[in-house]
Amino acid sequence: MADPRPRTTDIGITLRHETRESERRAPIVPVDAARLVAHGFTVTVEHSPQRVFPIGDYLDAGCVAAEAGSWRAAPAAEFVVGLKELPDEPPTLRHRHVFFGHAYKGQRDAEALLRRFTAGAGALLDLEYLTDADGRRLAAFGYWAGYVGAALAVLRHRGRLDPPLRPRPKADLDRVLRETSSGAQPSVLVVGALGRCGRGARDALAVAGIEPTCWDVAETRSLDHAALLDHDILVNAVLVNTPTPPFVTLASLRSRPRRLSLIADVTCDVTSGNNVLPVYDDITDWREPVRMVADVGDPLGVIAIDNLPSLLPGEASTAFSAELTPHLLTLGEPGQPWQRCLRVFREACEANGLETENVHV
């Protein structure tokens, strides 16, 4: 099928529709799309019924509208930008896709995704690995994931978490946190408290009137398991890329006395071999935000929603897009961060016995 969309430059970016119904965010917001257009990019935006920003705002920014899924017919040189998982079709991927692929740490279905790319000579430029020379991420939703994860944990503890969850402005979420702050406060431990996620969690807890216990690298290097279990709520804001001793195990939950009744796992690394919370085996979602861990004595709930920032879609998208856009402007050069993304992709493919000779940024 020929692509009918006009091109004014050799560099084209398609903002694809997210197939996950609960995904309301956009990696590029209209004001930043206008910046890309002003720099000579052709920005095509697929219609999306759930995206927080209406298509008209993108048209006003100089973008081109297209039907959902039309990226499949775009020229092979197109950069396809999204956030969450791709649809299962087509079986081969010939474009350069920018999104969170979750395919480099042994996650479920990771090899199948990489095989689709190598079969079509496409490339995954994973946003998780868009980093500077020191490995620091250049665009991330971590702050907002931590903020929402901690907020949901507090509302659950206070009996005010009512599924199904729905997106809302931050002001509304903060209002509920403040309204429910009277009375005895839960004891909350934030692990990874000094990172982006941890900072977001601490800010949400401050709005809720809670002063948490804060652990970071020093405290997790030699973990005090008894102290961890002596909190009502654990907010895990640690993303690990190498095997790390678990923070909590089923054995520790069964054998030790504990106060812990709720875990908010912001990082949701459940299918990774690096999972530091191997006490549950699947994520939760907006319809069922909390799942109980079986056979561990006293009740223990887990919140493990892998698109937490989508519950504050406007604020989270605006902050992320502002960080990402300067790097999208270097796609035609290409910038060093994208070369690092490509290198990690190639290494992951080679580790799975897949060839990447024809792949380039």
CA distance 173 to 165: 12
The reply to whether 233 sits in an annotated binding site is no
Give the pLDDT score at 9: 53
Task: Give per-residue pLDDT as tens, 167-219.
Answer: 999 999 999 999 999 888 999 999 999 999 999 999 999 999 999 999 999 99
Give the pLDDT score at 182: 87
Report field, pTM of the whole predicted structure over 0.85: yes
Give the pLDDT score at 1: 41
Closest by alpha carbon to 155, among 193, 207, 195? Answer: 207
CA distance 50 to 119: 31
CA distance 68 to 70: 6
The reply to whether 216 sits in an annotated binding site is yes
Assess if residue 243 is contained within a domain: yes
- One domain, residues 170 and 78: no
The reply to whether 335 sits in an annotated binding site is no
CA distance 30 to 125: 22
- The gap from C-alpha 35 to its chain's centroid, in whole angstroms, comes to 24
Assess if residue 259 is contained within a domain: yes
- One domain, residues 105 and 163: no
In the residue annotation, 105 being an active-site residue is answered as no
What are the Cα distances from residue 304, in Å, to 161, 265, 301, 308? 14, 5, 10, 9
What are the Cα distances from residue 197, in Å, to 52, 67, 75, 200, 270? 22, 35, 37, 5, 17
In the residue annotation, 95 being an active-site residue is answered as no
The reply to whether 134 sits in an annotated binding site is no
Give the pLDDT score at 244: 86
Assess if residue 357 is contained within a domain: no
- One domain, residues 116 and 257: no
- One domain, residues 275 and 153: yes
How many domains in the chain? Answer: 2
The reply to whether 195 sits in an annotated binding site is yes
Give the pLDDT score at 6: 47
- One domain, residues 301 and 317: no
The reply to whether 176 sits in an annotated binding site is no
Closest by alpha carbon to 138, among 151, 147, 125? Answer: 125
Instruction: Report the CATH number at residue 244.
Output: 3.40.50.720
Long-range own/partner contacts, residues 131-138 (CB < 8 A, 24 or more apart) = 131/337, 131/340, 132/337, 133/336, 137/196, 138/323, 138/324, 138/327, 138/337
14: exposed, middle or buried (Cβ count in 10 Å: 0-12, 13-18, 19+): buried
Phi, psi at 44, each rounded to 5°:
-105, 130
- One domain, residues 297 and 271: yes
The reply to whether 331 sits in an annotated binding site is no
User: Bridge partners of 97?
Assistant: 80, 124
Query: Which amino acid appears at position 67 of this protein?
Result: E
- One domain, residues 101 and 163: no
At residue 323's C-alpha, the angle toward residues 155 and 140, to 5°, is 45
Assess if residue 5 is contained within a domain: no
Give pLDDT < 50 ranges for the chain: 1-8
The reply to whether 305 sits in an annotated binding site is yes
What are the Cα distances from residue 211, in Å, to 66, 169, 203? 48, 24, 10
CA distance 229 to 67: 50
Assess if residue 3 is contained within a domain: no
- One domain, residues 165 and 121: no
Which of 17, 97, 102, 170 is catalytic? The answer is 102
CA distance 281 to 293: 10
Assess if residue 240 is contained within a domain: yes
Residues spanned by the domain of 192? 141-311
Q: 347: number of CA atoms within 13 Å, CB side?
A: 10
